[in-house]
Structure 1
Amino acid sequence: MTEEDLRPSPDRVPRRVHSERLLVPGWWWVVLVAVTGLVAAVAFTLGAPWWLWLLTVVVPALFAWLFVTVGRERIEVESDGQGGGTLYAGRARLPFEAISRSAVVPATAKQAAMGRQLDPEAFVVHRGYVPTMVIVVLDDPLDPTPYWLVSTRDPEGLAAALPDNHYS
């Protein structure tokens, strides 16, 4: 085989068909700035000691770091258009060959899916501030993971990007 035979054909090159970042809601940032401003105003009015000023800087910086870190999670689907592809959820990846089916978990069913119905061996990428999820059922006898449960703001789009989807 030549090197040319090993290259994927142009029609088999994976393309991103779904991509999203699970950013924290914008109002969290607004509340952080408002509370920081209020605390700074009170500290200035009361002639606060240096350590209170330090808290006025350090605590909001820690919350900002937390917001950025938590909101870093990405959900992506790459497809070659011919049945092959990969689901990426954070650092984990799942090839299409291992997917049996997928379904939308609406906001009304999220509590049950994450609570009493959750299989302890399931792979979960959950963000509490994202109201909907998608369940991806696996069909891999070598993998003890029965399904993936993934937070997404566009459940219909994510389920449609996956193979053999039966979403509700």
Structure 2
Amino acid sequence: MQLSASPYEERLTAPRSWWAICFLIGIAMALVFLPFGTLPLLGALVGGTAVSAVVASAYGSIRIRVVGDSLIAGEAKIPVAALGDAEIMDQEEARAWRTYKADPRAFMLLRAYIPTALRVQVTDPADPTPYLYLSTREPERLIAALEAARATA
């Protein structure tokens, strides 16, 4: 598979504040185990922090990539030839499209902690998905990568 002229890859990592929350969850677990002594308290602190950090890391490990002639967003893979126009959405428009304007048939790769998004029309008549909603911190770069991949396809 040939890489596009403008390869794109973005990991939708969790914000830094989530890591502080992971530590606070560890502290809360430690407080629960406080009556049982020092060792259970320390175990709960470490265990609670570690488990919540693993959950935050897993939630933020999803990626959006343009590889060759395909867009890979999470578990979905779609050829760029099946994609139509892309629209950059600011914070307010993105909120609208993930709530009351959303189509239940759409593919939604959303992370509420990312304020901007890209809505890409699906032009494949065999695909019932009307559009892809992709949370992205760099919508301009993603559009450029899609256009470059479309030009080389």
- CA drift of 1:60 comes to 1.8
CA 1:163/1:148 → structure 2, altered by over 3 Å: closer, same or farther? Answer: same
Give the number of the structure with larger relative contact order, counting CA–CA contacts within 8 Å between residues 6 or more apart: 2
Amino acid at match of 1:25: P
User: Which of residues 11, 15, 22 is equivalent to 1:25?
Assistant: 15
- CA drift of 1:31 comes to 3.9
- CA drift of 1:92 comes to 0.9
Q: Which runs of 4+ in 1 moved over 6 A?
A: none
Deviation string for 1:25-48 (max 9, x for gaps)? Answer: 1232134336646875x789xx63
- CA drift of 1:156 comes to 1.2
Amino acid at match of 2:35: A
Deviation string for 1:8-37 (max 9, x for gaps)? Answer: 7xxxx2236111101101232134336646
Q: Is the 8 A contact 1:99 1:163 kept in 2?
A: no
User: Which of residues 66, 78, 81 is equivalent to 2:55?
Assistant: 66
Cα distance between partner residues in 2 of 1:52 and 1:132: 43
Cα distance between partner residues in 1 of 2:63 and 2:50: 23
Structure 1 unmatched ranges of 5 or more:
1-7, 80-84
Cross-structure match for 1:4: none
CA 1:38/1:117 → structure 2, altered by over 3 Å: closer, same or farther? Answer: closer
Asked whether 1:78 is paired with 2:54, we answer no
Q: Is the 8 A contact 1:100 1:137 kept in 2?
A: yes
Cα distance between partner residues in 2 of 1:48 and 1:63: 22
User: For the aligned residues, what is the CA RMSD?
Assistant: 2.6
Pair member with larger Rg: 1
TM-score, normalization: structure 1? 0.74
User: Which of residues 93, 100, 111 is equivalent to 2:84?
Assistant: 100
Asked whether 1:156 is paired with 2:136, we answer no
Deviation string for 1:37-69 (max 9, x for gaps)? Answer: 6875x789xx63149624323322221111111
Pairs aligned (count)? 145
Percent of paired sites with the same residue: 32
Q: Is the 8 A contact 2:26 2:44 kept in 1?
A: no
Cα distance between partner residues in 2 of 1:39 and 1:116: 37
